[in-house]
Structure 1
Amino acid sequence: MGKQSFWVSLMELLGSMRFAISLLTLICIASAIGTVVGQADPWVNYVNQFGPFWASFFEPMGLFRIYNAPWFIAVMAFLVVSTSLCVYRNTPKMIKEMRVYRENIRENSLRAFAHRWEGRFKEKPSELPGIVTEWLEHKGFKVKQSVRDNGTMVAAKAGSANRFGYIAAHLSIIVICIGGLLDSGVPLQVAVWATGKTPVTGAEITAGIPEKARLAESNPSYRANLLLPEGETSRVAVLNTDDGLLVQDLPFELTLKEFRIDFYSTGMPKLFASDVEVFDPDTQERFEATIEVNKPLIYKGVTVYQSSFDDGGTKVQLKGIPLTGERDYRFDLDGVVGGGRDLSQLQGDLSRDLKVEFTAFKSINVEALPVDNADQVSVDDLALGNADALSPFETNLASVLGPGVKEDAKTKFTNIGPSITYKLRDQAGQAREFHNYMLPINLDGGRYYLAGVRETPADGFKYLRIPVDDNGQLEGFMRFRAALQNDEIRRTAAQRFAQQAFGDRPDSAQLVASVADSAQRALERFAGLNNSLSGLPAIAQFIESTVPEGEREKASDVIIRLLQGAMWEVYQLSRTTANLPPAVPDEVHGRFVQDAQIALSDLSLYGAPVMFQLDQFDEVKASVFQLAKAPGQWIVYLGCLFLCIGVFSMFYIRERRAFFWVTQDEEGSKVMMGMSTTRKTMDFEKEYEQFVNELNSRAAPKAASAGDAV
């Protein structure tokens, strides 16, 4: 008895409306999450969006593949069961209710109706039911008479199809869920289990597609991705699973002939389309088509969507620029985006074994740059030990494409040219990511090359501003950097500065020697000799460790003046070694030395012994397609049709019932009329008033009365 009671209670729970609504609410919440959070994106995208902690927290919950998550599929399955039980239990009752006229209703029950009318007619009781029946049928009611000993009951009903709306709406939930399950990962998992397939890693696919990871063309349901560079052909797509990759064979070959993209003025893509050629090996048919966003290609049951675009292996030529040592030289480096190069064979200033990995290339970069010049960070502020000035990358590496632009500043969308993104990885596997622009950018009244760096994908790039020389190139700055690392140039620069500043004074030999020695030591600290720090942070550390707090401001002013004067001489000597004439001491060259001094100070924070500048490129574009075989698509469409029918029936078809109790009267017939509906609306009230008015007009004079609600 207890076991039977348990199963009865379980069926009651599964078939209850509350349980079904709860499941439907869970699905709605999950669908909202799936709409907001990108699904099946690369892991790094989620790390960038949520951070490492929350990305790792959300991932086991299946929020990044929510429509294939086991709990989501289980909820849909339970919803199918629950709704099916609701339909199974209630449909017979509703069909029976639709067919019943309720002609056996009693007179006392009729008197309890809220909408009731009573009146007398001259027609005989044997004639009046026929007249009422004809009148009701003219109004669209179905009528049935029940003759009793003391009178005749005329029962009428209209809008019974309203109950079909309930049945159709519930059937739509079942059909849509079944279609969704067919298009979920369940059929794929069943196919993988039935055929003994095993996901593999990317390295295994690189060596060749193993048979254990290849799915046949007959696979009934899948949603795969295909990255196809221009000019290349593919007959397979890749399915990403939690355990690795599966390769799906396609019933046709797809060749990308050309990828086209247009941009808005904001830099956002306005239109991207792929001109493709399709070849069917079975029929030897070949045809061309264009795939655009929301305009997919459908062939042999497979729908090819334009998902996004990517780099297809652009060939790049870079200039390697060492950032350490006293040598000023360049070296050429060729590469392909998506590939890498080993730098261990390069000798000289590159003392560490490094590998460069080319991760991305963009030929167009549209950014919101400020129209008006912003305030320039002064060298004095940076050197005086201000917390903001010395914080890593927050001020020294000015972020010009994000927080570095004031929110209230006027901005203009500007194409700042091509850029290259790469990683430098050491032997321990540690890597930093760099993002460098090919062309100089006008910013804050000057022109700079921007070299970005970030520690992790979750961080934003922070940019080093490198000022251009008189020719708009990097050579002037790189000569300046190499000269600063040369012992002889530093010594000569310090002596020249001291001689020019104090050499015309009487008995100045001792003063000149003292100033030259101080300037040389300032240059050495700035250059980072025998110290883990370099640049302005090294100067600030020296002041904080050797000068009393009350005298630091005065000492800072003296040291900075010595450093600025000596740096000007280093710059002049760097030009002399390159057989260039001395720089004119004007505002342009003064700003160059100041900006270069800030950039040199930040090189220690840049964290790389070499920087790569994009020199030339041969761009190769690629389309990212999503290929879907969705047998549940038409089932879902059928469910949507049921849903439309159900909603229309429930909201626009009104079920009404009318009852006329006809009895004998002294001069004819006495009639009691009652009307009811499942949902009281203004339309029903108007219809009742119309009934009453017509009955009053036909009833015997001064004999009709409309009943009030009771």
Structure 2
Amino acid sequence: MTASDSSPDTDFLSLLQEIWHQILKIIADLRLAIILLLVIALFSISGTVIEQGESLPFYQQNYPEDPALFGFLTWKVILNVGLNHVYTTWWFLSLLILFGTSLTACTFTRQFPALKAARNWQFYQKPRQFEKLALSSEVSLQSVSEVIPLLEQRGYKVFQDNNSIYARKGIVGRIGPIIVHAAMLIILGGAIWGALTGFLAQEMIPSGASFQVSNIIEAGPFSRSLIPKDWGIRVNRFWIDYTPNGDIDQFYSDLSVINNQGQELDRKTIFVNQPLRYQGVTFYQTSWGIAAVKVQINNSPVFQIPFASLKSQGENGLWGTWIPIKTDLSEGVSLLTRDLQGTMMVYDKKGDLFGAIRPGMSINIDGVTLKIYELIGSTGLQIKADPGIPFVYTGFGLLMLGVMMSYVSHSQIWVLQQGDRCYLGGKTNRAQVTFERELLAILEDLEITKHQEVKSIIEAT
């Protein structure tokens, strides 16, 4: 066997290296990153348009098989593909991971080498090197050092090697794209971490009741530790403020965080855009309803009867209940209301409107005295835990910083002195017109300096 012969192991390693370089080249391709970004954006839009986390009857009603929306979008397609919980599906998370991998590869194969090249000193030693520059000129100078003050006045960092000068500024513009890539990776990481460890729940709780989070709508595979087990929430009071014309102004919930023994750990009154946060779990005020009414029939004990929602839409909702007026439940009256302002409509056993009543009032109907004591509201809470949010916010902050840094022009100027001739040229990656004006201003200053030197010599002689 000669030295030129290669072993099978060496050939195999060479093949693996070649495959790895090809894969890395594909992953680091900017076109792949753009395609992945567009696909992610498309599915993100679908997650905004298609309601997320709803029940099966909801999708069957709103996305029937005949006629199918757009000819193909049915409830079966939505559930099978996972469009009802887009952001936590395996394929969406895989797209995020692939996009992050592409960004990482692009950063290490393109951005870091570009930054390293920008930081290197690059002295020109031959006049023909200036020919490849779009902006270059020749001036007559006694010494190349005459250019240094003019460059430093304009913020350039100057490096000199005998009769050659290299000057640069705006290196932060090369760092900006790296910050942008890092920020996007942090955002992607935060989104993935939140999808894996967070959860979303909804509760409709009557005023005065306590509960523990149980109605989970969405939950990541590692979210179990975040779901509260040793504490819950007590709704001390729920109320609504109305405008003078009867419209809802704001609704409030006075919430207490309690442990399993009923001891209060924290307390806050929440309303829209002012949630309660406790141990990484956030309680948002999202909706409201009417839970029950406390009534008395003749001299009976005061008892509570639940209300049922007859319409599901917010301010135009309608709630109703049926109140028995005989012990055998053979007859009763109906009670309807639209809000918590207190006015309720009473309908007799035939379904005819009998009158209106408010809490604290009594009414005689069919020989029975009906007294209303209290109308009990219920608060609609959205409960969310997302450990990835701090990472996402940090990423967005860095993204804005990186974008601003990327707008800084990276400008380079070379100067070479040969005899009495001085070659000067430069280039920039953006703001070309501004750079041209700056270079012309340097040349004009050099000419002015030269004339002043000549004048001084004449005056001295």
* Range into which the TM-score falls when normalised by the shorter chain: 0.7 to 0.9
Do 2:293 and 2:375's aligned partners in 1 also have CA atoms closer than 8 Å? yes
User: Could you tell me which amino acid in structure 1 is paired with residue 21 of structure 2?
Assistant: V
Give 1:609's aligned residue: none
Are positions 1:76 and 2:96 aligned together? yes
- Please identify, of 262-271 and 273-282, the stretch whose mean Cα deviation from structure 2 is larger: 262-271
Give the fraction of aligned pairs with identical amino acids, expressed as a percent.
23
Identify which of 136, 151, 156 aligns with 1:141.
156
Give 1:291's aligned residue: 270
Q: Measure the CA separation in 2 of the matches of 1:364 and 1:75.
A: 37
- Once the two structures are superposed, the pairs formed by residues 521-560 of structure 1 within 5 Å of their partners are none
Identify which of 386, 405, 408 aligns with 1:649.
405
CA offset digits 1:66-96 (Å, max 9, x no partner): 1112211111111121111122223441331
Relative CO higher for 1 or 2, CA cutoff 8 Å, sep ≥ 6? 1
- Once the two structures are superposed, the pairs formed by residues 246-325 of structure 1 within 5 Å of their partners are 248-262=227-241, 270-280=249-259, 286-313=265-292
C-alpha distance 251-163 of structure 1, shift in aligned 2 (>3 A): farther
CA offset digits 1:165-199 (Å, max 9, x no partner): 11000011111111111100x23xxxxxxxxxxxx
Q: Measure the CA separation in 1 of the matches of 2:16 and 2:60.
A: 50
C-alpha distance 291-250 of structure 1, shift in aligned 2 (>3 A): farther
C-alpha distance 636-44 of structure 1, shift in aligned 2 (>3 A): same
Are positions 1:97 and 2:117 aligned together? yes
Are positions 1:18 and 2:64 aligned together? no
| Residue 467 of structure 1, CA deviation | 11
Over the aligned positions, Cα root-mean-square deviation in angstroms equals 4.1
User: Could you tell me which amino acid in structure 2 is paired with residue 26 of structure 1?
Assistant: V
| Residue 678 of structure 1, CA deviation | 1.1
User: Could you tell me which amino acid in structure 2 is paired with residue 293 of structure 1?
Assistant: V
For structure 2, list consecutive stretches of 5 or more residues without a partner in the other structure: 1-13, 69-73, 297-303, 323-333, 338-344, 357-370, 455-461
Q: Measure the CA separation in 1 of the matches of 2:449 and 2:262.
A: 78
Do 1:224 and 1:239's aligned partners in 2 also have CA atoms closer than 8 Å? yes
Give 1:696's aligned residue: 447
Q: Measure the CA separation in 2 of the matches of 1:253 and 1:42.
A: 25
User: Could you tell me which amino acid in structure 1 is paired with residue 88 of structure 2?
Assistant: N
| Residue 153 of structure 1, CA deviation | 1.4
- Please identify, of 302-311 and 22-31, the stretch whose mean Cα deviation from structure 2 is larger: 302-311
User: Could you tell me which amino acid in structure 2 is paired with residue 183 of structure 1?
Assistant: G
| Residue 129 of structure 1, CA deviation | 2.6
Do 1:104 and 1:146's aligned partners in 2 also have CA atoms closer than 8 Å? no
Are positions 1:36 and 2:36 aligned together? no
| Residue 108 of structure 1, CA deviation | 0.8
Identify which of 176, 187, 190 aligns with 2:187.
176
Give 2:300's aligned residue: none
Do 2:412 and 2:427's aligned partners in 1 also have CA atoms closer than 8 Å? yes
| Residue 637 of structure 1, CA deviation | 2.0
For the residue of structure 1 that corresponds to 2:53, the secondary structure is coil
Q: Measure the CA separation in 2 of the matches of 1:174 and 1:27.
A: 14
Are positions 1:238 and 2:215 aligned together? yes
For structure 1, list consecutive stretches of 5 or more residues without a partner in the other structure: 188-220, 318-333, 338-357, 368-417, 423-435, 440-448, 452-465, 474-614, 704-710
Do 1:316 and 1:336's aligned partners in 2 also have CA atoms closer than 8 Å? no
Give 1:659's aligned residue: 414
| Residue 362 of structure 1, CA deviation | 8.0
Do 2:205 and 2:380's aligned partners in 1 also have CA atoms closer than 8 Å? yes
Do 2:166 and 2:414's aligned partners in 1 also have CA atoms closer than 8 Å? yes
Are positions 1:222 and 2:199 aligned together? yes
C-alpha distance 104-116 of structure 1, shift in aligned 2 (>3 A): closer
Give 2:387's aligned residue: 631
Q: Measure the CA separation in 2 of the matches of 1:364 and 1:114.
A: 66
For the residue of structure 2 that corresponds to 1:237, the secondary structure is coil
Are positions 1:66 and 2:86 aligned together? yes
Q: Measure the CA separation in 2 of the matches of 1:335 and 1:664.
A: 104
Identify which of 170, 180, 186 aligns with 1:159.
170
User: Could you tell me which amino acid in structure 2 is paired with residue 143 of structure 1?
Assistant: V
C-alpha distance 298-285 of structure 1, shift in aligned 2 (>3 A): same
C-alpha distance 162-365 of structure 1, shift in aligned 2 (>3 A): closer
Do 2:200 and 2:218's aligned partners in 1 also have CA atoms closer than 8 Å? no
Do 2:305 and 2:321's aligned partners in 1 also have CA atoms closer than 8 Å? no
CA offset digits 1:614-665 (Å, max 9, x no partner): x9896432222233332222212221222122101112x1100111111222
C-alpha distance 619-300 of structure 1, shift in aligned 2 (>3 A): same
CA offset digits 1:185-244 (Å, max 9, x no partner): x23xxxxxxxxxxxxxxxxxxxxxxxxxxxxxxxxx43333332210112333323599x
